[in-house]
Amino acid sequence: MQKLLNKTEIKFWVGYIIFGVILSIILKYTLNISFLSTFRGYYGFPYMFFIPGFILLRVFKPKLLEDIGYLGYPFGLTLGMVIVSILVIATIVKVRITLLLIFSILTVPVLVSLIYYMVNCCKKKDKKKKKAKKRKRKR
């Protein structure tokens, strides 16, 4: 099983985080916009529209996201999850829809897929160790 993020993606997200902190500091001291407000807008947008779908696709279909042209799939998947969850909550559960509720709804599939990924990684490592032990015993 491949890694969840490759080096290029890690560099991108680290740069994104650093740029967000710098932007928040600049906006705080020039326009007197609170750090939390900038943080919510800057980091909330990719989480609400990209990251859950990206993680789901990376875990279950890792070969699909190797090309840059396929970055529309996570956006569409996340947008679909948001729309379906809002429809279900509004019609069936009849709870008031808030950003916190949508955030928590998007967090559940992300956590489930990450747990699935970690369990599969551990299983594959155990299988490799068992095969290596069998090879040593045969010698």
How far from chain centre, in Å, is Cα 11?
15
CA distance 78 to 45: 11
Written as tens digits, the pLDDT of the chain (139 aa) is 456 677 877 888 888 889 888 888 888 888 888 878 887 788 878 877 888 888 887 777 766 666 666 677 778 888 888 888 888 888 887 888 887 787 787 888 888 888 888 888 777 666 666 666 666 666 6
> Dihedrals φ, ψ of 66, to 5°?
-75, -25
This prediction's pTM: 0.62
Q: In angstroms, rounded to a whole number, what is the distance separating the alpha carbons of residues 86 and 101?
A: 9
- Domain spans, the chain: 7-138
DSSP output for 63-116: GGGSSGGGGHHHHHHHHHHHHHHHHHIIIII-----HHHHHHHHHHHHHHHHHH
- Name the DSSP letter for residue 91: I
